[in-house]
Structure 1
């Protein structure tokens, strides 16, 4: 799979932060987590939004109504963007230059690996993608990279 290079980032991150706990990683990296109302226009139809301002302050704005386990997945996904896609902010002026699908797939892979979520097809035989995602507390989209 073409995403295995991300594993090295994860190993280095865990080593640097001396933890694999998503909240401890955010704390060690000084990335703020701000919970906002679920109907906030700021994040529209998304669960969260990662932002870096002109002073390099990093914040993830996240809906305040997410299940705790799913919140961890969403935070790990956004951390994937923060670590893997630093170049986006230079290219943000021309959205046509950004392959959003590829970036989302990378962030999903990052989140699944950081949270150590493995999917054994035997354990989930006969399950739908929706059932698997609810069981693992991840997005359905993140499971598309697995073949069943």
Structure 2
């Protein structure tokens, strides 16, 4: 099992939810909305406080995806002293790909694997609205 999937499974088991906004509440991560230019989301850790900022221009159907991505940074990269900013769905950065996987696993957690078995990535996208680029990271071959 991959590192990101294990991290998501631990979160879901501990907090009994896969909803990124509920996870933020449980994990004491402050979520804010602001115009942050070209960035969809940003995670920041400062003085034992965690913040996620989501761009006010993010469409409603992507809010959980963006928040889930930033939770990926909170869970996997908190000790790294830098600000993570997400601008595209498919970033070449190792850290961005890991955060993308966390977001995808969180989004897929509500789906019964039997309902998705044998479906193409395009078909899964049609059912789940999880960005295809994220799906490729977790189930693409």
SS at 2:93 equivalent: helix
1:56-89 residue CA offsets vs partner (Å, 9 max, x unmatched):
1111111123222311000000000110112321
The answer (yes or no) to whether the contact 1:73–1:137 under 8 Å persists in 2 is: no
RMSD: 2.8
Normalized against structure 2, the TM-score is what? Answer: 0.72
Give the drift of 1:10.
1.2
**1:102 matched to 2:94:** yes
Identify which of 69, 73, 77 aligns with 2:65: 73
Displaced runs of 4+ in structure 1, greater than 2 A? Answer: 65-69, 117-125, 131-148
Give the drift of 1:45.
1.7
How far apart are the structure 2 equivalents of 1:27 and 1:59? 11
Larger radius of gyration: 1
Match of residue 60 from structure 1 = 52
Identify which of 11, 14, 20 aligns with 2:12: 14
The answer (yes or no) to whether the contact 2:31–2:54 under 8 Å persists in 1 is: yes
1:10-56 residue CA offsets vs partner (Å, 9 max, x unmatched):
1211122122222111100110111113xxxxx33220101111x21
Deviates more, 1:112-121 or 1:43-52: 112-121
1:106-121 → structure 2 map (5 Å cutoff): 106-116=98-108
The answer (yes or no) to whether the contact 2:45–2:51 under 8 Å persists in 1 is: yes
1 or 2, which has the higher strand percentage?
2
How far apart are the structure 2 equivalents of 1:32 and 1:147? 33
